[in-house]
Amino acid sequence: MLGGDGYLGWPTALYLSRRGHDVGVVDNFARRQYDLEMGVDSLVPIRTLQQRVRTWEQVSGLQVDSFIGDLTDETFVQDTIRRFEPEAIVHFAEQRSAPYSMIDRKHAVYTQVNNVVGTLNLLYAIAETDPSIHLVKLGTMGEYGTPNIDIEEGFIEITHKGRTDVMPYPKQPGSFYHLSKVHDSHNIMFACRIWGIRATDLNQGIVYGQATEETLLHPDLATRFDYDGVFGTVLNRFCVQSVIGHPLTVYGSGNQTRGMLDIRDTLACVELAVTNPADVGEYRVFNQFTESFSVRDMAAMVRQASVKPVEIAEGLENPRVEHEEHYFHASNTKLLDLGLEPHLLTKSVIKGMLTLIERHRERVDVDAIAPTVQWRSSASTRKTASTPSDTSFRAV
């Protein structure tokens, strides 16, 4: 589990461990460094990876191995794979924030070097160590952008001048982060073709939620809850604003539509991919989301679930460069065909998020909520403690 200390990596590791898989987690704590850099923190306090692993072993009686290192270090990657001898590698280990990648040139370069080079090292290590390893890579629905046609799952049949072929679906990423994911996809597909390795690319929508069956077993097993303007997600932001009595801030038209899924479904999707591996030499793509909502729809849902009246502030200047009125219809049948049973975004789910936020209300930093990164500018308005160098903050 690469990135096993992160928001999704940690609960996924526990989920797979509890279901009988031998799990090793790899991380270098870059995500924690980003918080120090940006001057923000998870709403829910989280323990060190070492404490988490000890608590999991005490609570469950199951062992999780941990490896501390960096995917941009090819020796570490290869040595770790040889030592653990995995049948599958789940790759969550990348800088995952679009706003972070758009802060300035250094953050854009860091994001692409970290993500693309790390994945490329991983591909070489698999090919040279054991090509039968199944790579399950977390991609993003943001690779596709917002085309004016239906979004297929990775590939599309095209007829041009009387000839027909199945081609990779055209990509229109919206940030340097999303571009790094596109580069990953191309590199993975190429490696499958030339080296005969096998891979599943999970193009995931926006994840919401913080609690899973495993993380609820002990407070020390909790995962992150991000709401700030750089790493937070729109639904988390709305819920936090609702609890503290702040208007729900809708940037742009509010008609931007995105695929969404519950954190519990992320865990189930990963297991379905792991236990139903791609064939040798196969590169396949699953669109990993269960529902789609506009930003305005999500704001309305939070207002309806709120225990006290809350206003919606609409028409605010959008810091991003994106289509605010667009067609959005994406296929997501492959995981459903494998047996995914979705948890849908209901009023009770939102109320659960609001209750969680109320419990940690004293940790809310109001100043961290507003967006500080402008897509049209090469520099952020947020003052950071430091910026990444060639050797710092490398995500695993």
Task: Please identify every residue annotated as catalytic.
Answer: 140, 177, 181
Identify each DSSP E strand in the chain by its residue range. 23-27, 64-68, 88-91, 134-140, 155-160, 163-168, 198-204, 206-208, 248-251, 257-262, 283-288, 291-294, 312-316
Q: Which helix (H) or strand (E) holds 239?
A: helix 234-244
Cβ-Cβ contacts under 8 Å for 173 (sequence gap 6 or more) = 142, 143, 145, 179, 181, 182
Q: Rounded distance, CA 46 to CA 225, Å?
A: 9
- Rg (Cα) of the chain, in Å, rounded? 20
Cβ-Cβ contacts under 8 Å for 230 (sequence gap 6 or more) = 34, 38, 40, 97, 99, 100, 103, 372, 373, 382
Q: Rounded distance, CA 227 to CA 196, Å?
A: 41
| Nearest C-alpha neighbor of 263 from the set 300, 307, 216 | 216
116 and 184 Cβ atoms separated by less than 8 Å: yes
DSSP state of 318: P
DSSP strand pairing (198-204 vs 155-160): unpaired
Angle subtended by helix axes 176-195 and 118-129, to nearest 10: 20
Tokens of 239: 């819920």
276: helix, coil or strand? coil
Q: Rounded distance, CA 92 to CA 89, Å?
A: 10
